[in-house]
Amino acid sequence: MSKTKIVVIGVGAVGATTAYTLLLRERVDELVLIDVNKDKARGDAIDMNHGLPFVGKTKVWAGDYEDCRGASIIIITAGAAQRPGETRVDLLKRNAAIFENIIDAVLQHNDDGILLIASNPVDIMSYFTWRKTQWPVERIIGSGTLLDSARFRYLIGEELGIDPRSIHAHIIGEHGDSELPVWSLANVAGTSIPLGEEKKERIFANTRDAAYEIISAKGATYYAIALALDRICTAILRDEGAVLNVSTLLKDYHGISDVYLGVPCVVDRSGVREVLKLSLSEREQRQLRMSAEKLQDLIRSMNE
Ligand code: 6V0
């Protein structure tokens, strides 16, 4: 049987925690860590290797771009982290330059893997990556609003005293300030969520602003995003057909095209196999279009 390999590019808070999560859950045979800061990648690889007597047999090493050869998934978490008070879009210019170099280097050694993007602003970075690689769109996936939806489900679950895994609720759109909650379809076992408008507004505000709160408290967010990235990798590696709110290219989605946004997608070995079209209310459709327009304006302004 051929070995499964995942490469993590950018071994900072998110990259290292993601690699550690993949290691703990024994997802792959080979795990490669790449960072411009080679000492950090080397140190993390040694540290993780010392834990191997306590977990399964994963080979972990600090590598270089040639190690992308044969990788099923290449996760990019490289880039500048969001500064306190900085919006995700302020990060755009700093991260776009970093991405140019990384993608060029990956393309020299891999042309059939799946690129999973987490660096912010994730929808724009994913769109750039798709444009630059010219790979089939299903193989360029952004982590999208999977983390936001998890936060949303957790907060609803807390309010109702119900396990968040039993809450079906979606955050869609930009992973960022213009994202929106799809309250019209939120449910527990098909029953609508019994919460008043005020509580719903508070839950959504806490979801949308969670990153700001965590960053001002401890400088970065990494545990939940690592679990979200692990979830996407697992759906791919096990060919699950799982429905996950990842960022993908929209084509006439409620009139929106040519932009990456987080929406429910069927994820399997091929990547994003299918985009699911939610029956949104008029208001939600309007909000989603505004989210798309915000990102499209930004993309345009970057090209000027
Ligand atoms: P960090 O801890 O500063 O790590 C970034 C890493 O990238 C560092 O180790 C850098 O050395 C490395 N790096 C920088 N340039 C390069 C390069 N050219 N090649 C290789 N490595 C490089 O940041 P952190 O891990 O906290 O965040 C990483 C990215 O993830 C940021 O853009 C965050 O905004 C983003 N996040 C995205 C989330 C999501 O839901 N998609 C959630 C949390 C953070």
Tell me: the pLDDT tens digits for 254-276? 999 999 999 999 999 999 999 99
Atom of ligand 1 nearest to the CA of 224: 42
Mean pLDDT to the nearest integer, 295-301: 89
90 has a pLDDT exceeding 90: no
CA neighbours closer than 13 Å in the CB half-sphere of residue 294: 18
Position 57 scores a pLDDT of 85
Alpha helices in 118-172 (DSSP H): 122-133, 146-160
Q: Grade residue 88 by pLDDT with cuts at 50, 70 and 90.
A: low
281 has a pLDDT exceeding 80: yes
Atom of ligand 1 nearest to the CA of 228: 40
Contacts of 143 (CB under 8 A, 6+ apart): 116, 117, 118, 122, 175, 225, 228, 229, 232, 246, 247
* DSSP-assigned letter for residue 194: -
Q: Is 79 annotated among the ligand-binding residues?
A: yes
CB 261 within 8 A of CB 148: no
Handedness of CA 16, 39, 212, 259 (dihedral sign): negative
CB 83 within 8 A of CB 14: no
CATH of 146-302, one of 3.40.50.720, 3.30.365.10, 3.40.1190.10, 3.90.110.10: 3.90.110.10
Q: What is the pTM of this model?
A: 0.97
CA 76–ligand 1 middle distance (angstroms): 8
Pick the residue whose CA is nearest to atom 36 on ligand 1: 119
> What is the per-residue pLDDT across 66-79, written as a single tens digit (0 to 9) for each?
999 999 999 999 98
- 38, 77, 214, best to mutate for ligand 1 pocket (most atoms within 8 Å of CB): 77
Q: Is 14 annotated among the ligand-binding residues?
A: yes
Q: Which residue has the tokens 């979606």?
A: 170
Please give the Cα distance from 56 to 111 (Å, whole number): 29
Cα separation values, 288 from 28, 60, 172, 212, 268, Å: 36, 41, 8, 22, 25
- Please tell me whether the interface predicted TM-score (ipTM) of this complex is above 0.95: yes
CA 285–ligand 1 middle distance (angstroms): 32
CA 14–ligand 1 middle distance (angstroms): 6
- For residue 32, give the H/E element and its range: strand 30-34
- For residue 95, which of 161, 168, 14 has the smallest C-alpha distance? 14
Position 63 scores a pLDDT of 98
Position 56 scores a pLDDT of 81
Q: Grade residue 300 by pLDDT with cuts at 50, 70 and 90.
A: confident
Task: Give residues (CB < 6 A) around ligand 1.
Answer: 9-15, 35-37, 40, 77-79, 81-82, 91, 95, 98, 101-102, 118-120, 122, 143, 147, 175, 220-222, 225
94 has a pLDDT exceeding 90: no
Please give the Cα distance from 266 to 246 (Å, whole number): 9
Q: What mean pLDDT value characterizes the chain?
A: 95
> What is the per-residue pLDDT across 200-241, written as a single tens digit (0 to 9) for each?
999 999 999 999 999 999 999 999 999 999 999 999 999 999
Residue type, 80: A
Please report, rounded to a whole number, the percentage of residues in the chain having pLDDT higher than 90: 89
Position 154 scores a pLDDT of 98
CA 40–ligand 1 middle distance (angstroms): 13
Q: Grade residue 1 by pLDDT with cuts at 50, 70 and 90.
A: low
Superfamily name and number for 5-142: NAD(P)-binding Rossmann-like Domain (3.40.50.720)
Q: Grade residue 81 by pLDDT with cuts at 50, 70 and 90.
A: low
Pick the residue whose CA is nearest to atom 3 on ligand 1: 81
Position 263 scores a pLDDT of 98
Q: Is 178 annotated among the ligand-binding residues?
A: no
Please report, rounded to a whole number, the percentage of residues in the chain having pLDDT higher than 70: 98
Question: Hey, where are the domains in the chain?
Answer: 5-142, 146-302
Mean pLDDT to the nearest integer, 150-172: 98
282 has a pLDDT exceeding 70: yes
Q: Is 257 annotated among the ligand-binding residues?
A: no
Residue 93 Rama label (left phi>0; alpha psi -120 to 50; beta)? alpha
304 has a pLDDT exceeding 70: no
State the CB neighbour count (10 A cutoff) for residue 74: 25
Position 101 scores a pLDDT of 94
89 has a pLDDT exceeding 70: no
Alpha helices in 223-281 (DSSP H): 223-237
Residue 282 Rama label (left phi>0; alpha psi -120 to 50; beta)? alpha
Pick the residue whose CA is nearest to atom 18 on ligand 1: 98
